[in-house]
Amino acid sequence: MKRIDPLTKIMFSLALLSLPLLFSSCRQGVRMGKDTLWQIHSTEGPFGVQLTQKATGRVTDLAGVDGTSAFYYLTKEGPRYLQKQKAVITNNDSVYAVSYLTTDQREATVTITRGPADILHLALAVSPADGILKTGLTLRAHPGEQYYGLMERTVDGDQRKSWDPNTPGRLGLRGQKVTMLVRPTLGIYEPVYVSSEGYGLFVHGTHPGTYDLAATDTSFVRVEFDQDHLTCSVIPGPAMMDVVKHLPALTGKAFLPPSWAFRPLRWRDDHTNLRTYYDGTPHRAPYNSMVAEDILMAQAYDIPIGTYWVDRPWASGSRGYGNLRWDPERFPHAQDMIRWINGKGMKFMVWIAPWVCDSLLAEAGMKGYLMPALHDSTGRSYYPNPWLIDLNNEAAVHWWEKILQNRLIKMGVAGFKMDRSEEIISHIDTLVLANGTRIHDIRNDYPRRYIKAAHDALQEIRGHDFLPMPRAAYTGSQQYGVFWGGDIGAGEYGLRTALIAVQRCSFMNFPLWGSDIGGYWKHPLTHTNMARWLAFGAFTPIMEVGPLDNRAPWDMPYTPSYDTTLIAIYRTYSIIHDTLKSYSHTMARKASLEGVPIVRPLVLAFPEDKNVKGRWDEYMYGDNILVGIIWKNKQRSFDMYLPRGRWTDYWTGKEYTGGKTVRIDCPEYKIPIFLTGENRPALPDPNKLYEESLKRAGKKPDLTRLQAREFPKR
């Protein structure tokens, strides 16, 4: 544990804890340095700690339920508590450590240290630790206190509940239980919440656990993890933004990608190599028909594409992934195709997973590089094809990195869309790795190891010019890439899920996030939902357009399939997002260096404004842009709340003084966008841009002519 600054000595006030059993406890002074932000009160009787921030007087009260201790542990016989203090081990300018006798006659040691930025680290160790199943901590929940962070899902459990119309939309988590276990496919989890009372609680480690946020008992938060010890950090405010800015010290600085990552991305889910393009024009290009169509049509409309990627299946062999070699029928002349795309100022990415198939599976098995396999009741393996790589084995990691480099990165692949690290990995207690580690204990860390391996493989060849993009993450993953909300359902409630998810990530130090515009699951695509999602995507750090049921705005699965207005909206918001490239990159640098997220929920950006409480349909994008997101298909106006300050309507140029709500007319192509501050980005006139886009979209590109001009030898 890190050494800390001096501690100032104060006495514990019995009345403040308001627990009957603690009235009989003796006072316990905790020495503190005079510079600390905290006052710390502890107890001799059942263990409890009261932390008071000097600046505000706000109290974070670690106290037990019904007079029990704040720290506890579970055995098969039930919960056990820290009952009576045995001795103060250390109480000096650096560390406060004290031992307790527990209710089953073990000895428990609690250590409190103060780290940089006055982050308090609390640790519980019990001896002997035999038979301990879980350790836990309880904290008092203040009336009206709200909790943010922990996961990107709207609600825990089956991810489909997040876009269920019966699920209420909310940013705060009070009243919910959240399981700290990465699961498919909305898979970003971070064991930290930020309280509206101006503190944060972060739990160290990778073991699964749960947060009960005043769900079972409205007066308490209960935190439990599947381990025989517990280390957590209490992060001071006084504002929630102060808490968020301290998170990089605990979880690592966010990755700073190259500026091209903030340009629009285009992809499809299944790049079938067809004989004709969408309109029946014969496919004569030397490359995959869908890739060629997307690039040629984007050029014709002047729609910017910064990155193009292909999803699975793209390789020969099993699962369309096989041995990481291109399928020549689906992707003929793959090397030349990548050069062609790179030559147009774009970057090329490809889908990968942390598994091996075919010949690579045999090689990895022979070398001992595979994770143990799950088996069903008949003894049949849930996989051997594909089979997960043991990323806890450094030799296996090095082997896999070299395969990625030699077969893809050296070919010109600039990044990876990274799937499946949370999907087929087990958390069964009985499964262990070759080194004896239980998979259960490291499951949450597997996504971090996955992205780090890809990051390191790319960095060795490409320097800083690369982009890993997975969907799953846990503590530390943010150091190595950007993220997307995996496999969100289409429709208005899918868009609502994405809107909440990007703001949830802001409380967890995951500032670089995007969504599959239009959703992923095969719900009916609608013109309005696509239009609204495109506008939202333009004001997220990562704007990725696809898969649209493998369609494009010029080939939609409804009438008219050539959707002129949707093409115009696609072009309009792609250009706006592309124009924001430098601004977004600057905000990403700020997020990496200072911990300030790019997308800022109003409760985070304007904590003193009571009018923003519960408002999650608008947010700040960086320092200077306020957007309102319309997610309901039938909505055609928006009551936009303008916080304090001076605001300029991007569409009209009208100036407003904040602190009030204004109604904004919002046809399908328009969302509320307001600018503020002196360093606001220079953006194109949105009305002229949309009119120009309509004109371009009104004339169908001639693919015969475009193809002949691009590939004259064909």
The CATH number for 386's domain is 3.20.20.80
- Which bin fits 463, alpha (ψ -120 to 50), beta or left (φ > 0)? left
My answer on whether 226 and 268 are in the same domain is no
Q: Within 10 Å of residue 303's Cβ, how many Cβ atoms?
A: 24
Q: Is residue 591 one of the residues assigned to a domain?
A: no
Report yes or no: 526 and 633 within 8 Å, Cβ to Cβ.
Answer: yes
My answer on whether 318 and 216 are in the same domain is no
Query: CA angle, 142 as apex, 137 and 147 as ends, to 5°?
Result: 70
Give how far Cα 418 sits from Cα of 481, 594, 622, Å. 10, 27, 27
Report yes or no: 321 and 313 within 8 Å, Cβ to Cβ.
Answer: yes
Q: Is residue 155 one of the residues assigned to a domain?
A: no
My answer on whether 223 and 317 are in the same domain is no
My answer on whether 59 and 102 are in the same domain is yes
DSSP secondary structure letter of residue 438: B
Q: Which residues of 460-499 are buried (b: 16+ CB within 10 A; e: fewer)?
A: ebbeeebbbbbbbbbbbbbbbbbbbbbbbbbbbbbbbbbb
Report yes or no: 403 and 360 within 8 Å, Cβ to Cβ.
Answer: yes
**Which among 145, 149, 47 has a CA at the least distance from the CA of 97?**
47
**Which among 654, 693, 687, 695 has a CA at the least distance from the CA of 670?**
687
Report yes or no: 92 and 7 within 8 Å, Cβ to Cβ.
Answer: yes
Report yes or no: 360 and 380 within 8 Å, Cβ to Cβ.
Answer: no
Does the bond joining 560 to the residue before it have cis omega, within 30 degrees of 0? yes
**Of 561, 581, 608, which residue sits at a domain end?**
561
> What span, in angstroms and rounded, lies between the C-alpha atoms of 237 and 57?
11
> What span, in angstroms and rounded, lies between the C-alpha atoms of 179 and 202?
14
Report yes or no: 81 and 62 within 8 Å, Cβ to Cβ.
Answer: no
3-state secondary structure 5-46: CCEEEECCCHHHHCCHHHHHCCEECEEEECCCCEEEEEECCC
Q: Is 428 helix (H, G, I), strand (E, B) or coil?
A: coil
Give how far Cα 65 sits from Cα of 62, 70, 71, 217, 218, Å. 10, 8, 10, 9, 11
Which residues lie closer than 8 Å to 620 by C-beta, 6 or more apart? Answer: 599, 600, 602, 605, 626
What is the structure's pLDDT at 120? 96
Q: Is residue 240 one of the residues assigned to a domain?
A: no
My answer on whether 217 and 273 are in the same domain is no
Does the bond joining 135 to the residue before it have cis omega, within 30 degrees of 0? no
What is the structure's pLDDT at 21? 30
Backbone angles phi, psi at 512, to 5 degrees: -110, 100
Q: Is residue 649 one of the residues assigned to a domain?
A: no
Q: Is residue 643 one of the residues assigned to a domain?
A: no
My answer on whether 400 and 483 are in the same domain is yes
What is the structure's pLDDT at 433? 87
Indicate the length of the chain as a whole number. Answer: 714
Residues of the domain holding 466: 259-561
My answer on whether 340 and 402 are in the same domain is yes
Report yes or no: 123 and 71 within 8 Å, Cβ to Cβ.
Answer: no
Averages of pLDDT over each 10 residues, the chain, 714 residues = 34 29 48 77 91 94 97 98 95 90 98 94 98 98 98 95 95 98 95 98 97 98 98 97 98 98 96 97 98 98 98 94 94 98 98 93 92 65 73 97 98 97 80 87 96 98 98 98 95 97 98 96 86 98 90 93 98 98 98 98 97 97 98 98 98 98 98 97 98 98 97 83
The secondary structure of 381-427 as a DSSP string is BS-SSSEEB-TT-HHHHHHHHHHHHHHTGGGT--EEEE--TTTS---
Could you give the count of Cα atoms lying within 13 Å of 514 in the half-sphere of its Cβ? 28
> What span, in angstroms and rounded, lies between the C-alpha atoms of 386 and 391?
15
Cα 44–chain centre separation: 41
My answer on whether 264 and 220 are in the same domain is no
My answer on whether 315 and 377 are in the same domain is yes
- Which bin fits 609, alpha (ψ -120 to 50), beta or left (φ > 0)? beta
My answer on whether 99 and 7 are in the same domain is yes
> What span, in angstroms and rounded, lies between the C-alpha atoms of 130 and 102?
14
Q: State the Rg of the chain over Cα.
A: 27
**Of 529, 561, 593, which residue sits at a domain end?**
561
Q: Is residue 401 one of the residues assigned to a domain?
A: yes
My answer on whether 218 and 323 are in the same domain is no
Which residues lie closer than 8 Å to 648 by C-beta, 6 or more apart? Answer: 654, 655, 656, 674, 675, 676, 680
Helices (H), 580-655: 581-594, 602-605
What is the structure's pLDDT at 67? 94
Q: Is residue 286 one of the residues assigned to a domain?
A: yes
**Of 515, 541, 561, which residue sits at a domain end?**
561
> What span, in angstroms and rounded, lies between the C-alpha atoms of 280 and 254?
46
Q: Is residue 397 one of the residues assigned to a domain?
A: yes
Number of domains into which the chain is organized: 2
395, with CB counted inside 10 A (0-12, 13-18, 19+), is exposed
What is the structure's pLDDT at 713? 80
- Cross-strand pairs, 235: 200
My answer on whether 317 and 444 are in the same domain is yes
- Token readout for 592 is 């990496």
What is the structure's pLDDT at 605? 98
Helices (H), 248-329: 248-251, 289-301
